[in-house]
Amino acid sequence: MPTFGNFLHTQLVLKIPKPTTSFASKTVIITGASSGIGKEAARHIVRLGASKVILGCRNITKGDRAKREIESSLGCSQKIIEVWEVDIESPESIKKFVDRVNYLSRLDVVINNAGLALLHNKYQVPYGTERNVAVNVIGTFLLALQLIPKLKQTATLHGVTPHMTFTSSALYDVAKYPEHQGENIFTWMSDKSHVDMMNQYNLSKLLLLHAIIKLSSIVDPVTSDKSRESSSIVINSLDPCFCKTQLGRDISGMLKVATAVFAFLFARTAEEGSRLVVKTASAGRETHGGYMRGGALKEYAPFVTNEDGVKKTNRVWEDLCTKLEQLQPGILENLNAV
């Protein structure tokens, strides 16, 4: 578990250089891109030469505003950035988004950045589970799995190594894994009495990492052989540091005040956090299935990779797949795409 000293070093001392890896000729999708880290990541990727950057946004008006801001700051062509609507809480919206993606000639990078952090707001259960988990895990994977075939197709047709990157959080390390008595963990969390809202954001990031680990092993298991020089697709995740963003926009009361003070003292800018996102989305194949923090590949916490952690990974994946199949029958067939 990271110590407070580690936190201070990451937030106040660590130097995060601007990304320099070229994205020339690449087509990139970034969700949650109308503001914060997602928007700043898009700005860097356009600066680094991408041919097309798609801002996946729930609010088109905000997305268009972000597009204009980026274009104005970089003086780039207005043809590079496109704003596409996608609501991670809506299977129908996700399906429409994927249908558009399938018409693209290529897809090189997907940055799954959309997410939320709710602590004590009205209890809601989209996808039949608590909302933090619904958005940060189920909705995110509902989109991600449907984009795998396009990434693999791009790898085959263009001889490149596409990336799928997930924005995670170091807070997974302090999450309390619930005792759900064998019931599907996502269904179990549809009952408010089973849920500690102060733990839910952290738990969503832990469940996300379990799912990423399993997805990575299924999609491209050969990449565990470090002697291979290339792989069909790299799937990784990162902690972008604690940044000033709108992630906690739904927090209220004294907690909002406390969070604002904490952010004033310690938070990095969204632009700094985006540097880590872009670095991860262009990192080498050695990061496949891995987790990056502070710009470096880190070991998962032991409780994720020990015997019990492996069992939890398999169980989370099984429960997640059950939910995903209910929402989009046949979605798991995307994992068999060549």
Whether 143 shows a pLDDT value over 50: the answer reads: yes
How far apart are the C-alpha atoms of 302 and 238, rounded to whole Å?
Answer: 17
Tell me the average pLDDT of the chain.
Answer: 90
Whether 285 shows a pLDDT value over 70: the answer reads: yes
How far apart are the C-alpha atoms of 324 and 142, rounded to whole Å?
Answer: 6
pLDDT band at 185 (very low <50, low <70, confident <90, very high): very high
The reported pTM is 0.92
Beta strand 291-293 with 296-298 is: antiparallel
The pLDDT assigned to 181 comes to 77
The pLDDT assigned to 224 comes to 46
Whether 256 shows a pLDDT value over 70: the answer reads: no
The pLDDT assigned to 182 comes to 83
Residue 99 CB-density burial (10 A; 0-12 exposed, 13-18 middle, 19+ buried): exposed
**What structural domains and CATH numbers belong to the chain?**
4-335 (3.40.50.720)
Beta bridge partners of 322: none
C-alpha of 133 from chain center: 13
Give pLDDT tens digits for 219-255: 877 544 444 445 589 999 999 967 666 655 566 666 6
Q: Which residues touch 292 (CB under 8 Å, ≥6 apart)?
A: 236, 237, 238, 239, 276, 279, 280, 283, 298
Which residues have a catalytic role annotated?
Answer: 168, 201, 205
